[in-house]
Amino acid sequence: MSLVLRNLQRAVPIRRAPLRKKMEIVRSILGVQKFDLGIICVDNKNIQHINRIYREKNIPTDVLSFPFHENIKAGELPQPDFQDDYNLGDIFLGVEYIFQQCKGDEDYYDILTVTATHGLCHLLGFTHSTEAEWQEMYQKEKQVLEELSRRTGTRLQPLSRGLF
């Protein structure tokens, strides 16, 4: 199925091809290539608006995930009954916020990939509300990013490291 990658902002220049290439590999690693996935790049104003509406937090953030399937257990893939249900959901990347948070030696596209991978893990039922949930999510992100790094020659670390 398809990966739809949209850029709905102009605050930060973005080339979609590098992110698309890496996220296709991440989808393959996770075994979710048969599911549709939307990744939408937005600026601080829009990510803050979405964050305020859905999380009641009136601040910009790096990533918000909106799963198509509810109540998925971490690590389990959805089991759709119909073709139209082969959808994981949407990931909103606050690319302006991410760019502002990047440290001097960090590659912006690597951080976008790590952040999108974090969002994808949320779509697959992983959360980090408790330390135990964080550990499970961290291990999944670490496994996926290590394999991605092996395939692409990069060294990516999970977004959620050091959360607890």
CATH label of the domain that carries residue 122: 3.40.390.30
Is the pLDDT at 132 greater than 70? The verdict is yes
81 belongs to a structural domain? yes
What average pLDDT does range 130-139 have in this prediction?
93
What average pLDDT does range 135-160 have in this prediction?
93
45 belongs to a structural domain? yes
Query: Which of 7, 15, 143, 19 is closest to 74 using CA atoms?
Result: 143
Across the chain, mean pLDDT equals 94
What average pLDDT does range 105-134 have in this prediction?
94
> How many structural domains comprise the chain?
1
Is the pLDDT at 163 greater than 80? The verdict is no
Confidence of residue 159 (pLDDT cuts 50, 70, 90): confident
Is the pLDDT at 115 greater than 60? The verdict is yes
50 belongs to a structural domain? yes
75 belongs to a structural domain? yes
The reported pTM is 0.95
> Residue 10 belongs to what domain range?
3-152
What average pLDDT does range 79-98 have in this prediction?
96
160 belongs to a structural domain? no
157 belongs to a structural domain? no
pLDDT at 106: 86
126 belongs to a structural domain? yes
What average pLDDT does range 10-37 have in this prediction?
96
123 belongs to a structural domain? yes
